[in-house]
Structure formats: C-alpha cells, structure tokens
Amino acid sequence: MHQAALLGGLIRDAPHYGWEVAQPVPHDWRKMAEAVQNHVKSLNWGHRVQLHDRKVKYFNVKAGFVDEHTVRGVAKGGKEILLSADHIVIATGGRPRYPAHVEGALEYGITSDDIFWLKESPGKTLVVGASYVALECAGFLTGLGLDTTVMMRSIPLRGFDQQMSSLVTEHMASHGTRFLRGCTPSQVRRLPDGQLQVTWEDCTTGKEGTGTFSTVLWAVGRVPDTRSLNLEKAGVDTSPNTQKILVDSREATSVPHIYAIGDVVEGRPELTPTAVMAGRLLAQRLFGGSSALMDYDKVPTTVFTPLEYGCVGLSEEEAVARHGQERVEVYHAHYKPLEFTVPGRDASQCYVKMVCLREPPQLVLGLHFLGPNAGEVTQGFAVGIKCGVSYVQVMQTVGIHPTCSEEVVKLRISKRSGLDPTVTGC
C-alpha cells in the first residue's frame, strides 16, 4: 500500500517527463486491496507448501501449555490434540492494542491489522498514535488521496532519532496529513449518518475538541500474544509490566528447553527480520552443532513513511548519552534527489547524518537517512557499520553518481565545526 501511494506521486510527476496523463488520476481501493490480499494469501499458502515439502507437521490450532513438555491444541471445531516435545519454541508475536479507557474504542475503531483487509476505502480517517505503524498507515492513506489526521499524545517515533522524526512528520504535514499534537481521545460514538464523532482533550490547554471521521484507526502500541498460552503451567516467566517473555542470550526462557523469539520477547526489536534470524540461529544451535548467538546490536530498519527513513546504530541522542557530547561528532547534509529535480519536488526534508566518535579514525556509531529508497540505502551501509567502519573509510569510498546513496560518502559538514578538517579535498 505504501508502494501504491508512491505510484500516485510518480503519476503526478509523469507530465513533467512528457507523459500525457490526465490529472487527477482516480484510485480504486477495492482493486488495490484485492491484489494486496491475494498476495498475502499466496505467501501463506507458500509457507504451507514449504512446510509440507520439508515434512514439517502443521497444526492449525489454538495452543496453550499443559506442562513444560506438553502443549494442548484446540481446533476451530473444538477437537483437542496433545503435543509433546523435547524443545518448544514460542513465536506467537503481538497484536495491536485497543485503548480500553476510551469509550467506543473497541466498538467503532479498527487497528493496523484491519486496514489491510478492508474491501472498501476507509474514507476520512483519524489515526491515533505516533509509532512507525501510525505514521506509515497515515502516510499511505494520504498518498492515496484520503483525508487523514494523526492524533499524537507526545513525540513521534519514540526511540528513533528525534531530529529525523521531526523531519518525517514535517514532510507528511507539507503533503497533506493533518496532525493533532498533544491530544488524547476520550470518546468515539457513531452518529445517525454512520460517521464517527471523536472527542479529545488538548493536554496543553485542557480544552475539548471534536471531529467527524469515517474511520478511526488505533495504532497505540502492541501487546504480546501470551495471555492464552498458560505459560504459568510450564513455569515460563514473563515481565510483570509488559507480559512479554523473559529470555537469555540463547533465547531460552526460565525453562531451559523452552525458547521464545520475536515480538513476544522482552527487550527485543519488534522487527520481522530479527525474529527470522534469531529463529534460524536457534535451530542451528539445537540441531546443527553451532554456538553462534543472535547479535541485536546495530540492527538496521526503515520506517516506510512517504519520505522513507532508514537508520542503523545509535541515534544522536543515544550516542551523546552513552559517550558524552564532547566525544561525538555528527556529519550531516541536506540533498536533492535527481528524481526530484525535473518535476520540481520539494526536497527540504531530504537529509542524511552520520553519528561518529570524535576521536580518529572516528568509528561510525549510527547512520540516519531520509529520502527515496531509504531501505535500500541503509541495508548496504549497515554491513559496513556492523563491521566497525570508520568515518575516514566511508569518505574514502567512491560514490555511485547520481544516486541518493552517494550522499552518504560525501558527508563533509560537521554539526560542531563546519567543514571536517581531517578529510582533504573538501
């Protein structure tokens, strides 16, 4: 759906390149949704086929522990099955959370899980939340031409670099997404015409506000899918605050032969690729004679907002907190992607910065990139940063012209002192 929204922007660019495309071009939500849903179903079927080909037994049941070696599964028809194993892996992930304190939230709202399965356009939408899920959903809804508002209680993209987060929301606002900052919802009710009236409080002024929307999408965090697992019967410990499972460096729970990976685990990045790699390494340790552990440091990720934000390593705030302001150097630059030039797109928020130790050779602590194809850019540089690349080595790398990635190897401007004195030929 992010790609569908990006295509809308490219269609608007097309006349500048000589393509005679009548504007505006209407978007068919039903056709897009059907294609996306069919793709997801094909992925699910593909996984089933792979399991069968590898002689893995698949049980489509709701499971819970009986004891530390036994799981009871209940099928949709109520039929029960007992399964026992020497090793058990919990990978149930998480589910979007509804704000139970908001009147009408559950009755009238949907979550990010639901938006992808809507057969009809959600229309005018209020997205409540400031996470990457909230901003990604709001971004593609705006890109598809829908009236979209984001309600944020506090800061956007908590845990990410806040300078980059501000640029992300600045770009979204300049392209039509409305933001209600410092506001919390208190009630959702359905009007006689079927629309949803939302009441909220401005936390700064204390004043009450109301608005009418076709859809209210909750993106206020996720909860681990652990409550129905009967973990206490197996002796598996969870965090009292988050209900997530506590594990050690081997992904083992408080019961040594029961493991947990992914979003269901306390303190792990809520990212699919990390769970996939952790599971692969766990299998290799259990049955392949390996001792390699999952390294959760310097995990790259990308927020797929309309202007994508990719990052790996420490944010500027984290680097300063860990090493001190005087030991951190930040190289940065605004840039204009080539594809923005002919159609005259605004590149005000296209920005890259590299967070480094100040002491030579200036180890790279983090890279933050805001612009087109940020995931592709970040993935490549993540390898070097994982291997301990220095700023000097990055500056000795020849860029590929004319690409956005090239901007990373051209970073000569320091936030602290202007031009970098350690690099010749500036």
Total residues belonging to the chain: 426
From 16, 69, 171, 401, active-site residue = 401
Sign of CA dihedral 252, 318, 303, 393: negative
| Cβ within 8 Å of residue 243, ≥6 positions away | 223, 224, 226, 227
Contact 217, 126 (CB under 8 A): yes
Instruction: Specify whether the CB–CB gap between 310 and 374 falls below 8 A.
Output: yes
Q: Cα(293)–Cα(115) distance, rounded to whole angstroms?
A: 36
Q: Is 16 a catalytic residue?
A: no
Exposure string (b/e) for 57-82, b if CB count within 10 Å is 16 or more?
eeeebebbbeeebebbeeeeeeeeee
Pairing of strands 215-218, 178-181: unpaired
Q: Are 329 and 419 in contact (CB under 8 A)?
A: no
Instruction: Give CA–CA dist 86/287, Å, rounded.
Output: 12
- DSSP letter at 399? P
- Buried b / exposed e over 305-344, threshold 16 CB at 10 Å, is bbbbbbbbbbbbebbbeebeeeebbbbbeebebebbeeee
Nearest alpha-carbon partner for 140 in 121, 119, 167, 155: 121
Tokens (6 digits) for 92: 């149930």
Whole-number Å distance between alpha carbons of 291 and 218 = 41
Contact 125, 148 (CB under 8 A): yes
Rounded Cα gap, residues 97 and 112, in angstroms: 10
Rounded distance, CA 13 to CA 295, Å?
A: 42
Whether the Cβ atoms of residue 343 and residue 19 lie closer than 8 Å to each other: no
Q: Name, in order, each residue with C-beta under 8 angstroms of 112's C-beta and a sequence gap of 6 or more.
A: 96, 133, 134, 137, 217, 219
Helices and strands counted in the chain (H then E): 11, 22
Q: What tokens does 195 get?
A: 């629309």
Active-site residue list: 401
